[in-house]
Amino acid sequence: MKAVCWFGKEDVRVENVPDPSILNPRDVIVRITRTAICGSDLHLYGGFIPSMEQGDVVGHEFMGEIVEVGREVRKLKVGDRVVVPFTICCGQCWHCKHELWSCCENTNPNAWMGEALFGYTTAGLFGYSHMTGGYAGGQAQFARVPHADVGCLKIESDLPDDKVLFLSDIFPTGYMAAENCNIHPGDVIAVFGCGPVGQFAIRSAYMLGASRVIAVDRIPERIALAQRANAETINADEVGDVAEAIKELSGGRGPDACIDAVGMEADGHDFLAMVDKTKFRLGAQTGRPTALRECIQVCRPAGTVSVPGVYGGLVDKIPMGAFMNKGLHMASGQTHMIKYMKPLLERVERGEIDPSEIISHRVPLQDAPQMYQTFRNKQDHCIKVVMDPWAERRAA
């Protein structure tokens, strides 16, 4: 089959690799009909995630049709159409039983790596390094899905792939980020970063009862898309001081919650951002937390900072004084996918949201190397890339 393989920093290629097969009795094989590039795939592309190996198949947002089932699969059958969550969960361990799905204890065969870095392992992830299990990803024509009964979301309506594909990651991720803000009617929520997760965080904050959402970015088309969801927007390149602009927009009190939908590769222009860039380049820290710092600084006292943005290891100069003295709460985590997929599918079915509105590019899988570059460089008004693994390449 064809699959997108990682070979090094800024080097992904579409290669022919062996088809996956059933390895465990609870596996299914999915013939993938749609797959997407996630913002977090750009951290792999940039070479910032350790424990990648040459030839690893990447991708963790995918859906398709089941073509083979293991002998202990109970709820799924050949021909079912499913969305696959990016986390792999056993359904049996303490964390799974408490609906803390992304902390599954049983699905990372390289648990020792997680333990060394985080104290305890978390769930195995598709296509996201050997530290999270070394599972082959879904930017491919087929994928093996372990513990399929636990994770796979069956799509029984005739909604097109483009409307349900993002239930595999970014819609639940944006939703959990908003839910983590513990929104009360009348609340003002600030969202840093209007990429795909930021867009879903904005829409979810309104669904959960926020009265106003203030969104910050630098890219005009992302700001325009946030405005379409009724966010009040701030272009960080146009206002001198983002913190001051947010303070003004929130009546001088500050937002009730701030969402960092940027993560470890934030672009900043202040002194600390310059220090970050240097230390990052030297390998002395593993992220540039400009957005996180701003969230802590801008949030009103006793408010909440919610962090869906991805971080890997260590970051510096977190304003712990502001965090402690203001009595902030922080909530984060890889998304507890299985808790959210079904209820959010129902919202899509009821027409409350059309996730496909954020798609900017629909391309054949073969175009992946070019699209990684375009997406990373935010060129060609790129917001979200969706790929068809079976389409022929366009004529040049």
Binding residues for Zn ion, rule: CB under 5 A, are: 38, 40, 90, 93, 96, 104, 106, 169
107 or 285: whose CB is closer to Zn ion?
Answer: 107
Which residue lies nearer to Zn ion by CB, 37 or 188?
A: 37
**DSSP state string for 207-253:** HTT-SEEEEEES-HHHHHHHHHTT-EEEETTTSS-HHHHHHHHTTTT
Query: Could you tell me which residues come within 8 angstroms of residue 76 by beta carbon, excluding any fewer than 6 positions away?
Result: 28, 66, 69, 82, 148, 149, 152, 154
**What single-letter DSSP state applies at residue 131?**
G
Q: How far does Cα 103 stand from its chain's mean position? A: 16
Distance CA 311, CA 265 (A): 9
Cβ distance to Zn ion smaller for residue 1 or 42: 42
Element of type H or E holding 190: strand 188-192
Residues shown for the chain: 396
- Helix H or strand E encompassing 124: strand 124-125
Which is closer to Zn ion, CB of 101 or CB of 192? 101
For residues 121 and 184, give the distance between their C-alpha atoms in angstroms, rounded to a whole number: 33
Nearer to Zn ion, 37 or 246 (CB): 37
* Minimum CB distance to Zn ion, residue 158 (Å): 26
Give residue number: closest CB to Zn ion: 38
**Residue carrying structure tokens 């502001």:** 322
Q: Taking the complex as a whole, how short is the minimal distance between the CB of residue 219 and Zn ion, in angstroms?
A: 19
- Residues 213, 357, 367, 174, CA torsion sign: positive
**In the complex, what is the shortest distance from the CB of residue 241 to Zn ion, in angstroms, rounded to a whole number?**
31
Min. distance of Cβ 135 from Zn ion in angstroms? 14
In the complex, the smallest distance separating the C-beta of residue 186 from Zn ion, rounded to whole angstroms, is 32
The b-or-e profile of 131-161 (16+ CB within 10 A means b, else e) is bbbbbbbbbbbbbbbbbbbbbbbebeeebeb
- 3 state SS of 98: coil
Q: Which is nearer to Zn ion, 100 or 239 (CB)?
A: 100
Name the token pair of 213: 């959402």
CB of 38 to Zn ion, least distance (A): 3
Give the shortest CB-130-to-Zn ion separation in angstroms. 18
Comparison of 39 and 303: residue with beta carbon closer to Zn ion: 39
The smaller minimum CB distance to Zn ion, of residues 236 and 307, is found at 307
Shortest distance, position 49 Cβ to Zn ion, whole Å: 12
